[in-house]
Chains A and B, each alone.
Chain A
């Protein structure tokens, strides 16, 4: 990755073992040092989600912290139209589950180096990327496309963090509405399932504990453990501890053993302290 300035206009792309192509990247045109992006077509055995189509998705490693999704999109549009960009902390399958959250309610992600999944419009863009010469760097911040960092960025961030209470209230309301709807649907589904079960058993009604209307409690780990403990206690209560002479003798023996053990422990503690010269008073 020697930053040799100008060699040939057309030098071959650099491919390293593992199949990654190296793309140099620098912050601005007058930067002296470069990062290297490692890119490869996205290939996994069982990609289930539809938004990372195997033939058109580029997998990018080592994206510096100052490149947001928009910046990456801009950067890579020189190789063809970009459909979407997804930046993540670690490589892995997407796990977008649950309802869509407003950006104000999402937990803040890490601001370190990212991996990216770039989906192009056309599959041909992938080859274009991979054959990009390794000594022509991508430039993040240009005059046409300034990227804010440092104080500018923080002030921008601070300004952006404001949200009008009414708007916030709206977001909350719409989410809760959705939530209630989902809850209702869920309840309905459960009811339906229960009904179905009842019907399946052809006229047999399952009898459960508790009066009518209360559902059987959902299983929980804590409840299981509690029951187990109760059993143990019961068993223990029934035992007699001080009945036979040998039991007496045993407790005495145990006492002496306890004293001995403590003595040995103390001896060891002392030995340890002595080894650390802890007894020199001054």
Chain B
């Protein structure tokens, strides 16, 4: 029978078809250069000839070398910056394209025909194919309008300055509306903005007939509906490469700036509401936002002149702006309403240059650093800055600006606040980002370039908790509730932007000490086709808010207010409404207080949610149904089902407490021949990272058979598999002494003797049920099983020593010694270190659990082992750049997926600086030794302070192919999860990221759920449950029969399969209640090999002539799967469609 596999010819790295093509794959270590033509890029140590190295240096070269050494951390950073700038700069070809397209557009625009004069509200002159990009509320406006060719057409903005960057290349074109179309009093009551919109519509109508324009869409500048713009793209295929943005402007100086002072009113209440009011012009509320949007149209040419004057003096200006833009973009701060856009960036640099905070000769990197430093140290919400040298007398003062706006940065004319739309929260976010970035730059152990300029920081991965306001229409009623009519008028009816600052202040007040930072998404600029009406305000995507929690305070259930008689009490009561009540505390104080619900840690983590929904409901009329809180959506998969939902913190604590008690008792034992020198935990449950921490159990004796000699229970064949009891490993080091034998077998026996004796003593003094074995001692205590292993510190050494025939004592490393050292030295150390980390970061354990649950569900548990996963998560907390350490399990988990999918394992070691023991010098050394021997090191290299050279945790696994697979799946899961979390309109099921695709496997072994002891931990727990011989109720402290410990048919079966068929196939299983074992044939498994006595396992012989070759006996192997797992295996499904016989 011939059995052949299709994939045999493929190379190993492609064993599993990758789902995403644009995934940057790590190059397979052993892969031969493949046919795809992509050449192998590998780092080789530099070899310079003697001549090259020692030739006499020229002065220029010396300067260059010195500069690289002193200005930058190293020359690497300088080169990285240069490369990055090359990536974002516009190419010459692109510039030519832009220039020619701008020319055509200019020519076309100049030929706009005149049209007869009509009333502004009369739209009959427009064809129905083009709509006016303006929400006409209220409908009626006075004034006359007619179309006329533009007075002038100029390039403005970043393109003529040469600071335009990829992607989304925008070229701004200012079209000046001829003076006779406008009237100086048009400022009032939106007459000018409407005429401006009409003029744009007229231009659009004229351009529709031309074939030289590709697509035409409307948008509005920074989300300001008063300032619509027309977006034009070239007709040909590279239409997406750049966009020309047409602005309509009044002639320079057409309106008097003094009319647009932030304290003047330009929208009359009477006109806006349509009601007769008795307001005189003086008592009308000021309209600063409206004024500044009109003013903004007047000044672009002046700004351009100013900037070009400044930038011509500083050679690195353009590069500096480009770097800052990249930095802002990675933080999602450069787009949308109230963003810190490119224009502000250049203005900021100009400010720093004119105030001599940076000098003209600085490099781009220095410009970036200095501006970040400035941002971090200057609070524009309190101390605004101004570019105006000598403003005229009518210009408002800074104090006046501060009264009207939250953030103040005044332009060179002294009249316009360029940050008018920015909320204080956005600026605080900017400041926070800048100061965090400065810290990372100064930290030599962080790869600053990569983390600050190359890593995106989307909100869902940055903020600990995120929530969204879904139905923005509801904000209309909030405006009413908050009494914001005049502000609404100022924002010309944009209730979203009107209500937002007030909601932010409200939340900031309510959350107060619980958060570091409150951020919000910037609503993106709407874009719509010229044939459509302008979209309504509610049509934008939901507003997202991010919280950066203070872990120590965020989860507190008590909000303690001022004493009842203090004057502040009223404000407190006003804020919290009926939730505020008088409480008497243990210290005798009687104060106002709010008590939130929450028993377990996972409920307490959601206290901010309670606060937010309560405040929004109370003060802003936003019902709870509109608030979509995505703080803890992923946590469900590690929740264990008891009365109080818990994500395992409480259970872990019980385990740790029980262990502490046991360890104390071990220390105090008397009557041992040698004393105990150390008791160390070596199990994930003892560092809070066990996915499902062991829970105290009480056994139901009738469910089991009895073992007479040792008073132990034994599973019955006809019953379902009993509940799995995890043995919690504890290492007990015994004092070193000359009495220990110097022989491996003898040590093994002495250890057994210790186990017996320890067991005897524990039974006698504490009545614990014990079961001594040669390798360990099982202790049944508080419903938990502890597995004590006695260790002797010299044993690994003894295992390594041997006497060679010459009588020379040689020390040779071997696997047995390594395994022992791992179990008795490294694991306990890691456990105690990570236990410490948990004390610093309360959500560390939960992140580990989520990460490992995901790895298990995706069948990677065997490749990324528990310890590796814990280390990876630890690195997220120890080296969070560019983020801050995760403050919620969910955000930690997302970053874990991102780390897995994006880390460049090929070229970089991951350094996990446990206990902060490594210095910058150590980092360099690790990196150098890694580079020098990359080929011989594990694919996934993790260095810790105790293990800088070998990466012992990843020595066995994963392999190149598996790592590659893990990376693709992680990227895919991350994408799906982030979409699910951020998009409320989709069907919500975050568990999709936990369901592995089974199509890629060759054989699927279905297991009998009855025999899977951890069934209830499955991602999708089954409806039926089996009695597993445990009863609820408090576990007895000690005594009784020893229950069935560490009996899991699935893992026993898996081990047997791997031992028998390990060189033929890979076996995967979810250790947490998985009911399938998936099998993947190894790519080389089906290649016939010559008959050899060492290579005939499970193979059948084919004889051709004198040659005998062997191929796997697949039928018999499949039969063996069934035979070996009798009782456990339900069916074996061979997916023969993938591999032919």
A residues adjacent to B (C-beta < 8 A):
1-2, 16-18, 20, 22, 27, 31-36, 38, 61-62, 64-66, 90-91, 98-99, 101, 104-105, 110-113, 115, 149-152, 154-155, 157-159, 161-165, 168-169, 171-172, 175-176, 179, 218-222, 253, 256-257, 259-270, 272-282
Does A262 lie within 8 Å of B1056, measured CB to CB? no
Does A111 lie within 8 Å of B1059, measured CB to CB? yes
Does B84 lie within 8 Å of A281, measured CB to CB? yes
Chain B nearest CB from A216 CB (Å) reads 12
Report how far A189 CA is from B662 CA in the complex, Å: 47
Q: Is B83 engaged at the interface, CB distance under 8 Å to the other chain?
A: yes
Does B745 lie within 8 Å of A101, measured CB to CB? yes
Q: A257-B54, A280-B87 are in contact. Are A266 and B75 (CB under 8 A)?
A: yes
Given B53, B1106, B1124, which contacts A150 in the complex, CB threshold below 8 Å? B1124
Stretch at the interface among B7-15, B269-277, B864-872, B1092-1100: B1092-1100
Question: Chain A residue with minimal CB distance to B66?
Answer: A259
Does A176 lie within 8 Å of B1091, measured CB to CB? no
The 5 A-B pairs of least Cβ separation, nearest first, read: A150-B1126, A151-B1127, A220-B809, A113-B1097, A33-B1115
Does A260 lie within 8 Å of B65, measured CB to CB? yes
Q: Is B773 engaged at the interface, CB distance under 8 Å to the other chain?
A: yes
Chain B nearest CB from A73 CB (Å) reads 20
Chain A nearest CB from B302 CB (Å) reads 32
Q: A1-B1101, A162-B707 are in contact. Are A104 and B712 (CB under 8 A)?
A: no
Does B1098 lie within 8 Å of A263, measured CB to CB? no
Contact string, B1104-1125, partner A, CB cutoff 8 A, digits 1/0?
0011100001011011100111
Residues of B within 8 A of A20 (CB): 1091
Does B1100 lie within 8 Å of A261, measured CB to CB? no
Does B1059 lie within 8 Å of A65, measured CB to CB? yes
Q: Is B454 engaged at the interface, CB distance under 8 Å to the other chain?
A: yes
Does B714 lie within 8 Å of A16, measured CB to CB? no
Chain A to chain B contacts (Cβ below 8 Å), 7 pairs:
A61-B1096, A64-B1098, A150-B1127, A158-B1044, A175-B746, A219-B807, A282-B456
Report how far A230 CA is from B1099 CA in the complex, Å: 57
Question: Chain A residue with minimal CB distance to B449?
Answer: A279
Known pairs A172-B750, A269-B43 / 20 extra A-B pairs, C-beta < 8 Å: A17-B1103, A35-B1120, A36-B1113, A62-B1096, A62-B1097, A113-B1097, A150-B1127, A151-B721, A155-B716, A158-B715, A165-B756, A165-B772, A168-B756, A172-B752, A176-B750, A220-B808, A256-B65, A266-B74, A278-B904, A282-B330
Q: Is B481 engaged at the interface, CB distance under 8 Å to the other chain?
A: no
Residues of B within 8 A of A278 (CB): 24, 454, 904
Report how far A272 CA is from B741 CA in the complex, Å: 55
Does B746 lie within 8 Å of A64, measured CB to CB? no
Report how far A154 CA is from B1127 CA in the complex, Å: 11
Question: Chain B residue with minimal CB distance to A148?
Answer: B1126
Does A281 lie within 8 Å of B329, measured CB to CB? yes
Does B1124 lie within 8 Å of A66, measured CB to CB? yes
Contact string, B764-795, partner A, CB cutoff 8 A, digits 1/0?
00000001111000000000000000000000
Chain B nearest CB from A174 CB (Å) reads 10
Does A105 lie within 8 Å of B774, measured CB to CB? yes
Residues of B within 8 A of A1 (CB): 1, 1100-1101, 1113
Chain A nearest CB from B778 CB (Å) reads 11
Q: A168-B772, A264-B46, A272-B907 are in contact. Are A34 and B1044 (CB under 8 A)?
A: no
Report how far A157 CA is from B717 CA in the complex, Å: 13
Report how far A179 CA is from B24 CA in the complex, Å: 60
Question: Chain A residue with minimal CB distance to B1091?
Answer: A18
Does A218 lie within 8 Å of B807, measured CB to CB? yes
Q: A16-B1108, A220-B810 are in contact. Are A105 and B749 (CB under 8 A)?
A: yes
Does A266 lie within 8 Å of B79, measured CB to CB? yes
Residues of B within 8 A of A101 (CB): 745
Does A35 lie within 8 Å of B52, measured CB to CB? no
Q: Is B531 engaged at the interface, CB distance under 8 Å to the other chain?
A: no
Contact string, B654-669, partner A, CB cutoff 8 A, digits 1/0?
0000000000000000
Report how far A62 CA is from B1093 CA in the complex, Å: 9
Q: Is B748 engaged at the interface, CB distance under 8 Å to the other chain?
A: yes
Report how far A104 CA is from B749 CA in the complex, Å: 10
Report how far A105 CA is from B46 CA in the complex, Å: 53
Question: Chain A residue with minimal CB distance to B64?
Answer: A263
> Which residues of B, 1016-1071, contact A by the 8 Å Cβ criterion?
1044, 1047, 1049, 1052-1053, 1055-1056, 1059-1062
Q: A152-B1126, A220-B808 are in contact. Are A111 and B76 (CB under 8 A)?
A: no
Q: Is B753 engaged at the interface, CB distance under 8 Å to the other chain?
A: yes
Report how far A38 CA is from B1096 CA in the complex, Å: 9
Chain A nearest CB from B241 CB (Å) reads 16
Q: A99-B745, A162-B710, A263-B65 are in contact. Are A155 and B808 (CB under 8 A)?
A: no
Does B774 lie within 8 Å of A150, measured CB to CB? no
Residues of B within 8 A of A31 (CB): 1119, 1123
Does A262 lie within 8 Å of B75, measured CB to CB? yes
Question: Chain A residue with minimal CB distance to B61?
Answer: A260
Residues of A within 8 A of B1119 (CB): 27, 31-33
Does B1124 lie within 8 Å of A65, measured CB to CB? yes
Residues of A within 8 A of B806 (CB): 219
Does B717 lie within 8 Å of A151, measured CB to CB? yes
Does B41 lie within 8 Å of A272, measured CB to CB? yes
Report how far A154 CA is from B1120 CA in the complex, Å: 16
Report how far A107 CA is from B1059 CA in the complex, Å: 15
Chain B nearest CB from A86 CB (Å) reads 15
Does B1099 lie within 8 Å of A62, measured CB to CB? yes
Q: Is B310 engaged at the interface, CB distance under 8 Å to the other chain?
A: no
Question: Chain B residue with minimal CB distance to A62?
Answer: B1096
Does B1129 lie within 8 Å of A162, measured CB to CB? no
Does A169 lie within 8 Å of B1124, measured CB to CB? no
Chain A nearest CB from B745 CB (Å) reads 7
Report how far A259 CA is from B66 CA in the complex, Å: 9
Q: Is B946 engaged at the interface, CB distance under 8 Å to the other chain?
A: no
Given B79, B749, B771, which contacts A176 in the complex, CB threshold below 8 Å? B749
Chain B nearest CB from A13 CB (Å) reads 14
Residues of A within 8 A of B771 (CB): 162
Q: Is B611 engaged at the interface, CB distance under 8 Å to the other chain?
A: no
Question: Chain B residue with minimal CB distance to A63?
Answer: B1097
Report how far A31 CA is from B1059 CA in the complex, Å: 22
Residues of B within 8 A of A274 (CB): 83
Given B1, B330, B773, B1060, which contacts A161 in the complex, CB threshold below 8 Å? B773
Question: Chain A residue with minimal CB distance to B1010?
Answer: A151
Chain A nearest CB from B240 CB (Å) reads 15
Chain A nearest CB from B183 CB (Å) reads 46
Does A113 lie within 8 Å of B1098, measured CB to CB? yes
Most buried by B among A33, A164, A269, A275: A33
Q: A38-B1096, A154-B1052 are in contact. Are A149 and B1115 (CB under 8 A)?
A: no
Does A112 lie within 8 Å of B1124, measured CB to CB? no
Most buried by B among A32, A179, A263, A274: A263
Residues of B within 8 A of A179 (CB): 741, 743, 745-746, 749
Residues of A within 8 A of B1108 (CB): 16-18
Question: Chain B residue with minimal CB distance to A34?
Answer: B1116
Q: Is B35 engaged at the interface, CB distance under 8 Å to the other chain?
A: no
Q: A33-B1118, A149-B1124, A162-B709 are in contact. Are A270 and B83 (CB under 8 A)?
A: yes
Q: Is B36 engaged at the interface, CB distance under 8 Å to the other chain?
A: no
Chain B nearest CB from A261 CB (Å) reads 6
Q: Is B1004 engaged at the interface, CB distance under 8 Å to the other chain?
A: no
Does A261 lie within 8 Å of B1113, measured CB to CB? no
Chain A nearest CB from B1136 CB (Å) reads 14
Question: Chain A residue with minimal CB distance to B1105?
Answer: A17
Report how far A154 CA is from B454 CA in the complex, Å: 53
Question: Chain A residue with minimal CB distance to B450?
Answer: A278
Report how far A152 CA is from B1056 CA in the complex, Å: 14
Report how far A221 CA is from B716 CA in the complex, Å: 55
Residues of A within 8 A of B395 (CB): none
Q: Is B673 engaged at the interface, CB distance under 8 Å to the other chain?
A: no
Residues of A within 8 A of B746 (CB): 175-176, 179
Does A33 lie within 8 Å of B1116, measured CB to CB? yes
Question: Chain A residue with minimal CB distance to B809?
Answer: A220
